[in-house]
């Protein structure tokens, strides 16, 4: 994909850093929520909202926009944070996460925040929603409407059988306007995915359902953007981008640790920093990365 200059990559890295800082701040304010997945997906959401998507924050209902369907709704802090930094609503509103009367529910609720394309929470349902939207768009507008339907899912979420039913339909209908992004961070709330319900060989499974498959480093902006470009060029079937990410990316004591899947900073966890220090450590590490690549530690 063209125009991805070194200057643009540095801009995206800085946006991702700010988005991660906001994720920590909003989780601390809420006193609950998920840390690992949102931090791990910050680079991918940054690439989409600040480079890849056709969208207009000032006109969220613009008919020509691409659609973002978040299936693993528990990682909504990264969606909210990215949307706020992209200009959909004030960044200050992020501190209302999970509070009574807030538009920013613990799982996305479209009636409260109309900028969202779907409500999510029950795992496994998002791909069915995305397949329905993509199929409906093709029926209404033909195969060349020019918009894409991006469905974000977690890897642990693939334990849900509904995903595979949706994949069958997407493959049957050859939905070239559907691109699925799997957060392959290898954790879920009870442990490591390959211990709980092994998924590999994941790419072969998708290929057998008729998907074009890309496997990438989910923290490499060039790889993210190039993979989406290749997926967009596939017209005769759906695509999936399996993005290898580090859960808790950018916060040393959270990285690759499944215990932070569903816990915010300030949680008493054996072997972790004192709960009173966790937010300070996380914010200090993230803020010290200005001008550096997220996640590089001495």
pLDDT at 295 > cutoff 60: no
Mean pLDDT of 150-175: 97
Q: Six-digit token pair at 148?
A: 């894409």
Model pLDDT for residues 35-80, shown as the tens digit of each residue: 999 999 999 999 999 999 999 999 999 999 999 999 999 999 999 9
Domains of the chain, first to last: 6-287 (3.40.50.970)
The pLDDT value given to residue 144:
58
Average pLDDT of the residues of the chain? 94
Angle at which helix 275-287 crosses helix 6-30, to 10 degrees, equals 160
Say which residue the tokens 């990559």 belong to: 9
User: Quick one: pLDDT band at residue 103, thresholds 50, 70, 90?
Assistant: very high
The pLDDT value given to residue 1:
53
Q: Six-digit token pair at 225?
A: 């953007």
- Of 219, 243, 220, nearest to 231 by C-alpha is 243
33: left (phi over 0), alpha (psi -120 to 50) or beta: left
pLDDT at 297 > cutoff 50: no
- Mean pLDDT lowest for which of 103-117, 130-144, 182-196, 215-229? 130-144
pLDDT at 8 > cutoff 60: yes
The pLDDT value given to residue 143:
61
The pLDDT value given to residue 78:
98
pLDDT at 270 > cutoff 60: yes
Buried-state track 179-214, b at ≥16 Cβ within 10 A, e below 16 = bbbbbbbbbbeeeebeeeeebeebbebbeebbbbbb
pLDDT at 2 > cutoff 90: no
163 vs 296, higher pLDDT: 163
- In three-state form (DSSP H/G/I as H, E/B as E, the rest C), the secondary structure along 49-101 is HHHHCCCCCCCCCCCCCCEEEECCHHHHHHHHHHHHHHCCCCHHHHHHCCCCC
The overall pTM is greater than 0.85? yes
The pLDDT value given to residue 141:
79
The pLDDT value given to residue 121:
85
pLDDT at 238 > cutoff 50: yes
The pLDDT value given to residue 217:
98
- In three-state form (DSSP H/G/I as H, E/B as E, the rest C), the secondary structure along the chain is CCCCCHHHHHHHHHHHHHHHHHHHHHHHHHCCCCCHHHHHCHHHHHHHHHHHCCCCCCCCCCCCCCEEEECCHHHHHHHHHHHHHHCCCCHHHHHHCCCCCCCCCCCCCCCCCCCCCCCCCCCCCHHHHHHHHHHHHHHHHCCCCCCCEEEEEECHHHHCHHHHHHHHHHHHHCCCCEEEEEEECCEECCEEHHHHCCCCCHHHHHHHCCCEEEEEECCCHHHHHHHHHHHHCCCCCCEEEEEECCCCCCCCCCCCCHHHCCCCCCCCCCCCCCHHHHHHHHHHHHHCCCCCCCCCCC
Say which residue the tokens 């993210």 belong to: 224
């Amino acid at each position: 994909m063209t125009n991805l200059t070194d200057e643009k990559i540095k801009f995206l890295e800085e946006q991702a850093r700010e988005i991660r800082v906001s994720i920590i701040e909003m989780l601390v304010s809420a006193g609950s929520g998920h840390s690992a997945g949102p931090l791990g997906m910050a680079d991918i959401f940054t690439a989409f909202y600040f480079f890849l998507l056709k969208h207009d924050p000032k006109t969220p209902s613009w008919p020509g926009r691409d659609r973002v369907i978040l299936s693993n709704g528990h990682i909504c802090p990264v969606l909210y944070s990215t949307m706020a930094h992209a200009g959909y609503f004030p960044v200050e509103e992020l501190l209302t996460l999970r509070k009574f009367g807030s538009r920013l529910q613990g799982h996305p609720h479209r009636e409260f925040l109309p900028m969202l394309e779907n409500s999510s929470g029950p795992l496994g349902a998002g791909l069915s929603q995305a397949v329905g939207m993509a199929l409906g768009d093709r029926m209404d507008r033909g195969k060349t409407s020019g918009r894409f339907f991006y469905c974000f899912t977690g890897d642990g979420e693939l334990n849900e059988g509904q995903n595979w039913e949706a994949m069958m339909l997407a493959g049957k209908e050859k939905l070239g306007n559907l691109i699925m992004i799997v957060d392959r961070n290898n954790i879920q709330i009870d442990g490591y995915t390959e211990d709980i319900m092994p998924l590999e060989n994941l790419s072969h499974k998708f290929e057998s359902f008729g998907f074009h498959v890309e496997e990438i480093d989910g923290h490499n902006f060039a790889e993210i953007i190039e993979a989406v470009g290749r997926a967009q060029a596939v017209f005769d079937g759906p695509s999936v981008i399996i993005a290898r990410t580090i859960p808790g990316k950018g916060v040393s004591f959270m990285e690759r640790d499944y215990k932070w899947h569903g816990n915010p900073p300030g949680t008493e966890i054996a072997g972790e920093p004192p709960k009173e220090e966790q937010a300070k450590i996380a914010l200090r590490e993230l803020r010290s990365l200005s001008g550096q690549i997220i996640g590089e530690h001495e």
